[in-house]
Structure 1
Amino acid sequence: MAGDQFQHTDTSVFPDPIYKETVLRPLFEGAKAHHMDGFRRIDRAHLVMLQETGILDARQAQDLARALVAIDSELDVSSLTYTGEVEDFFFLIEKELKDRLGPDLAGRLHTARSRNDIDHTLFKLALKHHVDRLLEKARHLADTLIAVATREETTLIVAYTHGQPAQPTTFGHYLGAIIEVLLRDIDRLAAAREIVDQSPMGAAAITTSGFPIDRERMAKLLGFSAPLENSYGCIAAVDYVTSTYSAVALMFLHLGRPIQDLQFWSSFEVGQIYVPNAFVQISSIMPQKRNPVPIEHLRHLASQTFSRARGMLDVMHNTPFTDMNDSEGETQGAGYEAFASGGRVLDLLAAVAGAISIDASRVRENIRRSCITVTELADSLVRRESLSFREAHEIAAAVARSVVQREGDLAKDGYEAFRLAFSTATQRETTIDELSFAEIVSPEYFVAVRQRFGGPATAPLRAALDGYREKLAGMKLAAEHIRLREDQAQIELDTRFQSLLGGA
C-alpha cells in the first residue's frame, strides 16, 4: 500500500548512547552540582501545599514525607553516576519513591505540577543565591571605595581626558564617580532580582491545573516574594534571565573602565599610583621590574565576566516564546560562571583599591609638566579682570605654551609670560600680582574653588560621600529584610514538613 513506506518497526531503546553521553549525562551532572537543595525544597513545599489544600490526605502526606526523608538519608547524590536508567534527576526521585511506596502513592506527589514549572523554579532559586552573593560582594566593594574616597578626599591626582593630562582633582572625587556608577549597577541587579523573586510553581506545563492548588502558599514556602501571575509566562518568559545577566554585564563593563585607568596610572611613565609589594610580581629575567599583575587580572576577569553574561543574552536571542531547552540546564550552568569570575573581580578590586596609594611627588611633577591648572587662570581672569572667557582662554594658552616650551613650573616661571600675554591682549597691565598668580595656578586652589554640587572641593565631596553612605545603608537594610523573609520561609517549610511526619 502507498502508506507502507511510513510504517516503521522501531526496536531502538532509550537513551541512544550518544544522546546519553552528550546531553543527558551533562544535564544530570549539572543538576547534581547546582540544584539538589532546590529539588528537595520544591518536593517538600509541594507536598505541604497538597496536604493543606486537601488534595492529599494526612496519611498520604505522611507516607510521602517519610519516603522523602528516607531518600535524603539513603541516597548519596555525590556518588551517583548517570546510567540512563531514568531520564533525569526528577525521574530518579520518582523512581525512588515508587520503590518505597508503589506507583500509585508515589505518583501523587506530582499532582498539579510539571517539570516545566519545577525547572524554572529550580533555576530561580539557584539564581537568587548567585545574585545575592554577587550583590554582597558589590556592596563590600562600595564600602571599601567610600572608605578610601573619604581617606583620600583631599589627595591630588591628575585627571585625564582623551589619554592626556586635563585638570587636577582629588582621588576621593575620582572614586566618587566610580561609587556612583557602582551603586547604580547594584540597583540594576537588585531590580533584576525582584523579577527572579517570583515563583513559577503552579503553572504546571503551561495553563495551571484543575486541582485547587495554592500558588501563593507555594511561593511563600519557597521564599519567593509572590507567584509570577501569568502561567504561560512562568514557563516562557525568560526575562528573569536576560534582566539578571544584562545587569551583570553592565556592572563589569563599567568596572573594567576604572580598572583600565589603574593599569595606566601604575605605568612607569605615569606613576600616579603606587601598588604595594603584596600586589606586585617580579620578572623572571629582569631584576628591575615591578609588575602590578593583579590589576591586569582584574581587567581580563572583568572582560570574561562581561562576555559570559552577554553570552547568556545571545543564547536567548531569537528563541520561541515557549518552554524551550535553550534557557534551561546547561545554559543556566554556563551563566553561573559569570558569577564565579565576577565575584573574583569584586573581591580582588576591593583588596587592591584599599591597598594602593597616590604617589604625591609624581602627581606634582606631572601637574608641573602639563600645566593643567591653567584653566583656572582663564576662569580667574574672567572673574578678576572682567575679560570674556575666550579672551582669557587665549591669554592662558599663551602662558602655558611659554612655560611648557621652557619645561618650567607654571607657578614659579609663568608670571612674566602671563604679564606679557595679558598686556598684549588687553593693552593694559593686570591687577594680579605674582603671589596671587602663584595661588591661582596652584592645584590646591583649583580644587578648592570648585565648590559646586558634585565638584571636588571639600564641602560638595563630603556631602556626596555622606549620600553614598546613606544609599548603601539602605541597600544593606533592604537585603537584610529579604534575607530575614527567606530565612523565615525556610523555617516555616521545615516546621510544616516535620508536622507531616507525625510520630516519625
Structure 2
Amino acid sequence: MTDTNPRLADRSVFPDPVYKETVLKPLFDGAKTHHIDGFRRIDRAHLVMLVETGILDREQAGKIATALEAIDRDIDPAKLVYTGEVEDFFFLIEKELKARIGVDIAGRLHTARSRNDIDHTLFKLGLKERIDALMVKARKLLDAMIATADWEKETLIVAYTHGQPAQPTTFGHYLSAAIEVLIRDIERFAEARNIVNLSPMGAAAITTSGFPIDRARIAELLGFAAPLRNSYSCIAAVDYTTSTYSAIELMFLHLGRLIQDLQFWTSFEVGQIYVPNALVQISSIMPQKRNPVPIEHMRHLASQTFGRARTVLDVMHNTPFTDMNDSEGETQGMGYEAFHSAGRVLDLLAAFVAQISIDPQRVADNIRRSCITITELADSLVRLEGLSFRQAHEIAATVARAVVAKGGGLSDDGYEPFLAAFEELAGRKPGIDKAQFAEIVSPEHFVAVRARFGGPASAPMADALAAYQEKAAAFARQTQENAAREAAAAEELQTRFTALMGVA
C-alpha cells in the first residue's frame, strides 16, 4: 500500500514564506538596527585571537581582514532588505566573505565559535553601551538633586504621612532621602554592569572548543573585564539580562514615587512647590491655569520604563536553563525601549529639580493651619517639665485640637489652651512662658533641635551632603574608568586588525 500523504514526502524549501515574514525578517531588521557594530567587533577580535594563538596563519587572516574591511565599506546595513537567501545577518556576512575570498578561507573565521556565544556577546555589548549612557544621565540627576538639596538645606517644607501634614522639615532633607535611594539604585545598576561585563566568547555552542583559543584575550579586545568562567553559563545564564532590567525596574519604581510627590506638592491646595514658567503649560480655554505638565510626562514615562523592564523579566520567567530564543534578539530589542524612555525621564527630572523652588508663604500657611510642630511641644514638656511622654502627648493633643477648632496657629493662639491643658492634666502651672512657648512650636526650632544622625538640622545635613558628594564623585570616576577601558580596547583591536590587513 502506497502512502499518499504529501506531508511525508517533504519537498519544501527553507524558509517558509510565513516564517520568513514573521520571524526571520524582524530578527534580521533588529540585528542591522542594533548590533552591526557588535558583529563587526566580534569578527575582528575573534580573527586577531585566532592568529595570536596560531589557529590561523597570518596570510589567511590577512585575506579575511581585508575582505571584512571591504564588506564594511561596500554594504550599508540601513539599505539591506531581507530576502530569505540567508538565515540571518551572521550568514549574510559569511556569504559575502565566501564571494570575495572563497569558501575555504572565508569558512576559517568561524573556527572555535558558534552563533550561541556570538549572540550573547552581541547582547552584552549592546547592554554595556546603553548602561553606560544611562549611567551618565543618572549621575546628572544625582548631581542636580545634591545641588538643589544643598541650596535648599534650610528651606522649610511640610512633610506628609498618609497624605496628611505631619511635621516640618527642609526641602534639602526631603531630597536627601530621595538622593540616598538614587545612590542605591545607581549602585545596583553598576553591579548589573559588572555582570554584563563578562565575555561569553569562546564558549562556542556550550562546552568551549578543542582548539587552543584564548578566551581572556578576546574578552580584552572586546573591552570586557574578563571571560565568564563556566561555558554553559555563557549561553544559558541570562542573569546579565535579568539583573539589568531588574535594576531599571527598581530605579523607575522609586523615581515614580518622588515624581508622584512632586505632583501632589504642586497642586493648588498644597502649593508648596513653585514650577517656573518654562516648565508650565497653559490651558487652551482656562486662562488662570498653570499646568505643571512635565510632571505627568515624567510619571507616565517612568511607568512605561518600569513596565518595559518588567516585561523583559516576564519573558524570562519559566524558560529552560539553556540557550533559547526567548532571551535573544527580539527580547533584547524590546528591552532597549526601556532604556530610551528611562533616559527621557532622567533628563527631564534633572532639569525639573534644578529649576523648581519652594513657596515660603504657602509653607508657612500650611504649617500654621496644620499645627505640625506640636510634636516638639510634647518633647519639650518631657525635657523641660519632667513629664512622661504619654502625659505630654495628651497635653499637646488637647492644645492642637483647640487651635485647629479656632482656625488659628500655635504660636499666636496656642499658649492659652496650653496653660489650661497643662494645669488640668499635670495639676500645676508650667514653667514655660509665652515667648518660650512660641519658640518651641516654631518650625525653625523644630528642625534645629533634630540634630541627630540623619536629621534635618544643619550639622547632620552638612555631613549627609558631603557623603552624597563623595558618592557622586566615585560614580564619576568609575564612569571615566569604564570609558577609558572601552576606548583602549577599541584602539588596540583596531591596531591589531589593521596590522593583519597589511599581510594580505
Please say whether Structure 1 and Structure 2 have the same fold, judged by a TM-score greater than 0.5: yes
CA distance in 2, matches of 1:71, 1:304: 39
Paired position in structure 2 for 1:459: 459
Per-residue CA deviation, residues 374-428 of structure 1 (Å, 9 max, x unaligned), is 0000000000000000000000000000000000111011101100000001111
The aligned counterpart of 2:71 is 71
| 1:225-244 alignment runs, 5 A limit | 225-244=225-244
| Counterpart Cα distance in 2 of 1:400 and 1:199 | 64
Instruction: Structure 1 unaligned segments of length 5 or more: list them.
Output: none
| Structure 1 residue 495: Cα displacement | 0.6
- Per-residue CA deviations over 1:185-236 (Å, capped at 9, x if unaligned) read 0000000110000000000001111011000001000000000011111000
Work out the CA distance in 2 between the residues paired with 1:477 and 1:295.
31
- Identify the residue that residue 55 of structure 1 maps to in structure 2: 55
Tell me the secondary structure at the aligned position of residue 436 of structure 2.
Answer: helix
Q: CA shift at 1:295, angstroms?
A: 0.3
- SS at 1:166 equivalent: strand
> What is the CA-CA distance between 1:6 and the residue it aligns to?
10
The answer (yes or no) to whether the contact 2:55–2:211 under 8 Å persists in 1 is yes
For 1:225 and 1:63, the matched residues in 2 are separated by 30
1:252 corresponding residue in structure 2: 252
Answer yes or no: is 1:501 the counterpart of 2:501.
yes
Q: What is the aligned partner in structure 2 of residue 383 from structure 1?
A: 383
2:19 is paired with a residue whose SS is: helix
- Matches of 1:377 and 1:177, distance apart in 2: 25
Q: Which residue of 2 aligns with 1:107?
A: 107
Aligned to 1:202, the other structure's residue is in SS state coil
Q: CA deviation at 1:3?
A: 8.9
Instruction: Kindly state the Cα deviation for residue 7 of structure 1 after the two structures are TM-superposed.
Output: 8.0
1:308-364 CA distance string (max 9 Å, x none): 001111000000001100000000000000000000000000001111100000000
Write out per-residue CA displacement over residues 256-311 of structure 1, whole angstroms, 9 at most, x where no aligned residue.
00100000000000001001111111111111111100001111100000010011
Q: How far apart, in 2, do the equivalents of 1:7 and 1:187 lie?
A: 56
- State the 1:9 CA deviation: 1.9
CA distance in 1, matches of 2:223, 2:107: 25
* Counterpart residue number, 1:476: 476
- In 2, distance between residues paired with 1:420 and 1:348? 53
The amino acid of 1:217's aligned partner reads R
More displaced 10-residue stretch of structure 1: 131-140 or 448-457 = 131-140
Secondary structure at 1:109 match in 2 = helix
Trace 1:116-265 onto structure 2 (pairs within 5 A): 116-265=116-265
2:404 matches 1:404: yes
SS at match of 2:168: strand
Instruction: Give the superposition deviation at 1:11.
Output: 1.7
CA distance, structure 1, for counterparts of residue 452 and residue 325 of structure 2:
54
For residues 242 and 200 of structure 2, the distance between their equivalents in structure 1, rounded to whole angstroms, comes to 16
The amino acid across from 2:16 in the alignment is D
Report the residue type matching 1:292 in the other structure: P
Q: 1:289 to 1:2 in 2, by over 3 A?
A: same
The answer to whether the 8 Å contact 2:59/2:503 transfers is: no
Supply the distance in 2 between the matched residues of 1:249 and 1:306 (Cα, whole angstroms): 5
- Alpha-carbon distance in 1 for matches of 2:471, 2:10: 65
Amino acid aligned to 1:437 = F
Question: What is the match of residue 301 of structure 1?
Answer: 301
Q: The residue matched to 2:174 in structure 1 has which SS?
A: helix
Q: Which runs of 5+ in 2 are unaligned?
A: none
| Alpha-carbon distance in 2 for matches of 1:194, 1:361 | 48
**Superposition deviation, residue 116 in structure 1:** 0.3
Please name the residue that 2:429 is paired with. 429
Question: 1:22-57: per-residue Cα shift (whole Å, max 9, x none)?
Answer: 111111110011100000000000000001111110
Superposition deviation, residue 119 in structure 1:
0.2
Q: Does 1:330 align with 2:324?
A: no
- Would you say the 8 A contact 2:395–2:422 is kept in 1? yes
Contact 2:156 2:168 in 1 (8 A): yes
**How do 1:85-96 and structure 2 match up within 5 A?**
85-96=85-96
1:10 Cα deviation after fit = 1.6
TM-score, with length taken from structure 2: 0.99
What is aligned with 1:313?
313
Give me the whole-angstrom Cα distance separating, in 2, the residues matched to 1:49 and 1:441: 73
Are the equivalent residues in 1 in contact too, given 2:155–2:172 (CA < 8 A)?
Answer: yes
Distance 2:375 2:34 in 1: 57
Overall identity of the aligned pairs, in %:
72
Aligned equivalents of 1:362, 1:7: Cα separation in 2: 78
In the alignment, the residues of structure 2 paired with residue 211 and residue 333 of structure 1 have an alpha-carbon distance, to the nearest angstrom, of 33
Structure 2 Cα separation of the partners of residues 353 and 339 of structure 1 = 21
Aligned residue in 1 for 2:284: 284
Q: CA deviation at 1:255?
A: 0.3
Cα distance between partner residues in 2 of 1:148 and 1:137: 17
Superposition CA RMSD, Å? 1.2
Letter in 2 for 1:467: A
The alpha-carbon deviation at position 503 of structure 1 amounts to 5.9
**Partners in 2 of 1:476 and 1:130 — Cα distance?**
16
| Mapped partners of 1:235, 1:426: distance in 2 | 74
The alpha-carbon deviation at position 481 of structure 1 amounts to 1.2
Deviation at 1:15, TM superposition (A): 1.1
Q: Which amino acid aligns with 1:247?
A: A
Distance in 2, matches of 1:9 and 1:50, equals 43
d(CA) in 2 for partners of 1:242 and 1:407?
A: 54
Measured in 1, the distance between the counterparts of 2:382 and 2:476 equals 47
**When the two structures are superposed, what TM-score results if normalisation uses the length of structure 1?**
0.99
**Offset, 1:8:** 2.2
Distance 1:168 1:443 in 2: 6
CA distance in 1, matches of 2:77, 2:265: 50
- In the TM superposition, residue 5 of structure 1 has moved relative to its aligned partner by 6.8
User: How much does 1:14 deviate?
Assistant: 1.3
> 1:10 corresponds to which residue?
10
Q: Deviations over 1:482-501 (max 9, x none)?
A: 21111111111011001101
Partners of 1:493 and 1:121 lie apart in 2 by 16
Q: What is the CA distance between 1:16 and its match in structure 2? A: 1.1
> Is 2:431 the counterpart of 1:441?
no
Contact 2:62/2:503, CA 8 A, preserved across alignment: no
Contact 2:124 2:196 in 1 (8 A): yes
- The amino acid of 2:320's aligned partner reads P
